[in-house]
Structure 1
Amino acid sequence: MSGATTTALDTTETTRRAPAFADLPTLPDRDEHHAWDVWGRADEIGTLNLIGPEQRLAAARTVRSGEMVSLTLPLDEPDPGLFDERSCYRHVVEDTAAGHDDRLDEFYLQGSSQWDGLRHINAGRHGYWGGRTEHDLATSDVLGIDRWAEHGFGGRGVLIDVAGHLAARGTPLAADEPVEITSALLDEVAGAQGTTFASGDVLVVRTGWTEWYRALPAEHRARLRGTIGSGFACPGLESTKDMAGYLWDHEFAAVAMDNVGVEVFPVDRAKGFLHRRLIALQGMPLGELWHLADLAERCRERSSHEFLLVSGVLPLPRGVGSPANAHALL
């Protein structure tokens, strides 16, 4: 079916290329919808199936000036990292007869601006994307992030600048509070920007968190390390089933944000875990810790929040995640 552009408030049946969220089957013993049969149980790229030649050509037509804007932090940021178990890499430079070689030791692929792959999160005992088991992942290369690299990770990006919209309204977003970004707010911002959505878009949402974190004094940043499970708070998408349905029914190929984990922190267990719903059950890539300040400024200047997004995912067999290596072409 056609991937024609729809408004932010109107995703109609005539534009749909996948079943509606409400029509997806549920897990045997849980009222959680899964999309494991949409592209077949053998599928390994999830919602990237929504990006094909038609969507890439449409994305290319958004380029006006040819300017390229980086969407990622330096590899050694956030500094320090927020997870105790994710130490910063050690950069080793070795002399050679002709000059130098170098390597990274203890390099966590999800330590900076990154993508969560389909090996990252499971749906409990129901397994990973497509119902794969731990045994499947241990004995094969299935669901490695290299599958995304082989397919190619790029298409039309749309920035929803929540931070900019709320600041302009006089109600700036507090980067250290658990503010839930609802589907209604996403629609409000999209409408104010004049932004429309199309099937296969990569949704990019700015909260301003990385800008806030980088501006903190070093001692304040140091105090935040290791607090993810104990007191850490930041804005993000609400983690409800309704949000999962909104993202699926708009047929976004991926979601990337500039906060720590896409969804709001701390996670409200009563509402559920959006990572589990999106990655394990819907096959949707999630990008975290992106740097979006420069992109937001350029989008405001050109009065357009659409762009060609390209992301150089690592061709790493069995890879769980990858640095985003992402750019916007404007």
Structure 2
Amino acid sequence: MNQPRWKKRPEGSNWGDYGSNDQLGRVNLIGTEQVLKGVKEVQEGVTFCLSLPLDIPGGKVLNPRRSPPTLTPTALDEDQYINFPLSTHSPKLNDVISDDQVQLSLQYSTQWDSLAHVGALFDGDDDGTPERRYYNGYMAAQDVLDLSGEPSQRHDSYARRLGIETLAAHGMQGRAVLVDLVRAFGSGRTLVGYRELLEALEQQNVVVEQGDMLVVRTGFAEALLDMKGTPQPDVLKSTGAVLDGTDQALLEWITSSGIAAICADNYAVENLDRELEPDCCSKLPLHHHCLFKLGLPLAELWYLKDLAVWLHSRGRNRFLLTAPPLRLPGAIGSPVTPVATV
């Protein structure tokens, strides 16, 4: 299908700009030039792991829908393959095998959101009736499927379009630039709109260019890690900066800056602790703007302290970021182990 699947696109969106069947959105801007720009930032060959341990936060306090990973051995008939001696089946073998599997929520800890993560009710047909749609007009029930209750299916949900595998296949490697909101505003809760963000960028001599991945340190993940798997919601609510998704100037800056992704060390990137106005259209306005309108992926709960300290000590803020998600077809989010190379 070469024609757009919509007659009207959301105001301020880029639907169709990369083609009617595009599933990458602003990730299209991470091309060979951006990879080479990232490689040029590698001066000392030092690497930093930007992932929390994937069993952090711990428990289900921060999100009751998401469960920490549970490891179990693989099994064959009655045999559990943990410290399993193959010699039980053949006296000539002396191998001992351990082999495991995991059940986890894909967005429990350090993660990417796919473009199928947040959509909206939007009248793309321009017929007066809004439909459940995602970036570039992709439709719920046609492109992002609920298969629960259909025993013939292999999955209970499946993103036929916009799944996380599209980002994995693209690579998610290129130049990233870090803005350290802890250094700018401290570790307490600060609402960061356009004015505050520009203040931090100018203070730290951060220059953001088209195709860069913007990496935002707030200090939230550091506090979370210090809680050792027992998160304290009351403390966390007053910890770390959050982007103000209601600030239209900030959203316009995200559009005009040309950034290809936002990667933050906090939960949800934006402020969740606000009262919704009666006429408010979205609880997650920054997600709405980035994922739904621009096709700009968001990443959450990264660990950035060690990288930020190192970069500051050398008067730098750019680096090569390598952060592909799992190539898991149909998945809506993914754990990730990002690596910064400097």
TM-score (norm 1): 0.81
Written as runs of structure 1 = structure 2, the 5 A alignment for 1:119-134 is 119-124=116-121, 125=131, 127-134=133-140
- CA distance in 2 between counterparts of 1:267 and 1:104 reads 35
> Number of aligned pairs?
290
Tell me the alpha carbon deviations over residues 275-317 of structure 1, each in whole angstroms, 9 at most, x when there is no partner.
Answer: 1111011101100111111111111111101000000211111
- CA distance in 2 between counterparts of 1:65 and 1:140 reads 40
Q: Which residue does the alignment assign to 1:193?
A: 204
Q: Which residue does the alignment assign to 2:21?
A: 42
Does structure 1 retain, via aligned residues, the 8 Å contact 2:38–2:174? yes
Aligned in 2, Cα 1:66/1:239: closer, same or farther, shift over 3 Å? Answer: same
Deviation at 1:127, TM superposition (A): 0.5
The partner residue of 1:317 within 329, 334, 341 is: 329
Aligned in 2, Cα 1:319/1:29: closer, same or farther, shift over 3 Å? Answer: closer
Q: Please tell me the residue identity of whatever aligns with 1:205.
A: V
Written as runs of structure 1 = structure 2, the 5 A alignment for 1:216-295 is 216=227, 221=231, 224=233, 235-240=241-246, 241-270=248-277, 272=282, 273-295=285-307
Does structure 2 retain, via aligned residues, the 8 Å contact 1:27–1:34? no
Deviation at 1:28, TM superposition (A): 5.3
Secondary structure at the aligned position of 1:197 is classed as coil
Q: Does 1:214 align with 2:225?
A: yes
Q: Please tell me the residue identity of whatever aligns with 1:111.
A: Y
Q: Does 1:91 align with 2:71?
A: yes
Does structure 1 retain, via aligned residues, the 8 Å contact 2:165–2:328? yes
Q: Which residue does the alignment assign to 2:167?
A: 148
Deviation at 1:267, TM superposition (A): 4.1
Deviation at 1:43, TM superposition (A): 0.2
5+ residue gaps, structure 2, are 1-5, 74-80, 87-94, 122-130, 146-157
Aligned in 2, Cα 1:281/1:70: closer, same or farther, shift over 3 Å? Answer: same
Q: Does 1:118 align with 2:115?
A: yes
Q: Percent identity?
A: 31
Does structure 2 retain, via aligned residues, the 8 Å contact 1:233–1:265? no
- CA distance in 2 between counterparts of 1:161 and 1:246 reads 18
- CA distance in 1 between counterparts of 2:257 and 2:100 reads 43
- CA distance in 2 between counterparts of 1:289 and 1:142 reads 25
Q: Please tell me the residue identity of whatever aligns with 1:209.
A: F
Q: Please tell me the residue identity of whatever aligns with 1:204.
A: V
Does structure 2 retain, via aligned residues, the 8 Å contact 1:181–1:235? yes
Aligned in 2, Cα 1:86/1:33: closer, same or farther, shift over 3 Å? Answer: same
- CA distance in 1 between counterparts of 2:144 and 2:295 reads 16
Structure with the higher helix share, 1 or 2: 1
Tell me the alpha carbon deviations over residues 164-217 of structure 1, each in whole angstroms, 9 at most, x when there is no partner.
Answer: 122xxxxx241xx4x311122222222222221111000011110111222247
Moved over 6 A (4+): none
- CA distance in 2 between counterparts of 1:209 and 1:140 reads 30
Q: Which residue does the alignment assign to 1:33?
A: 12
The partner residue of 1:181 within 180, 192, 203 is: 192
Determine which structure has more spread, i.e. the larger CA radius of gyration.
2
Deviation at 1:235, TM superposition (A): 3.2
Does structure 1 retain, via aligned residues, the 8 Å contact 2:220–2:239? no
Q: Which residue does the alignment assign to 2:102?
A: 104
Q: Which residue does the alignment assign to 2:314?
A: 302
- CA distance in 2 between counterparts of 1:277 and 1:267 reads 17
Deviation at 1:41, TM superposition (A): 2.2
Tell me the alpha carbon deviations over residues 80-139 of structure 1, each in whole angstroms, 9 at most, x when there is no partner.
Answer: 34111111121113324342111102x111000101101111122350011111122228
5+ residue gaps, structure 1, are 1-25, 167-171
- CA distance in 1 between counterparts of 2:197 and 2:172 reads 24
Aligned in 2, Cα 1:269/1:33: closer, same or farther, shift over 3 Å? Answer: farther
Q: Please tell me the residue identity of whatever aligns with 1:314.
A: L
Does structure 2 retain, via aligned residues, the 8 Å contact 1:120–1:320? yes
Deviation at 1:232, TM superposition (A): 8.5
TM-score (norm 2): 0.78
Does structure 1 retain, via aligned residues, the 8 Å contact 2:117–2:332? yes
Secondary structure at the aligned position of 1:58 is classed as helix
Q: Please tell me the residue identity of whatever aligns with 1:79.
A: G
CA RMSD of aligned residues (A): 2.5
Aligned in 2, Cα 1:43/1:64: closer, same or farther, shift over 3 Å? Answer: same
Q: Please tell me the residue identity of whatever aligns with 2:217.
A: R
Greater shift after overlay, 130-139 or 58-67?
130-139
